[in-house]
Amino acid sequence: MKLWPTIKEAVPAQTSEPSLNDLLLEIARFGEPNVVMISSGWYSRIDMNTTALGAKFQVRSEFGHKTPLAAAQECYARAAKAVAALS
């Protein structure tokens, strides 16, 4: 059973690339997404949902992305890898 869909599987294929809105709504199913503009560019973070008492699981993109979508896509891809590694 696949636990985490790819971006293209998770977001309706309205265009060749999902919108930031669609991607954030998909991420929100698994945690709390944050997309922030800092001096070097865009950055994204997901505070992942967890049921383990006292545990925290956070996934982050690199700093300095040119667009908020690029930061969110990198963060989503990293979250997918992390979930696969934990499974």
Quote the mean pLDDT of the chain.
87
Average pLDDT over residues 31-43: 96
Q: Are 72 and 20 in contact (CB under 8 A)?
A: yes
Q: Are 22 and 7 in contact (CB under 8 A)?
A: no
* pTM (predicted TM-score): 0.79
Query: What percent of the chain is modeled with pLDDT above 90?
Result: 57
All domains of the chain in start order, with CATH? 17-86 (3.30.160)
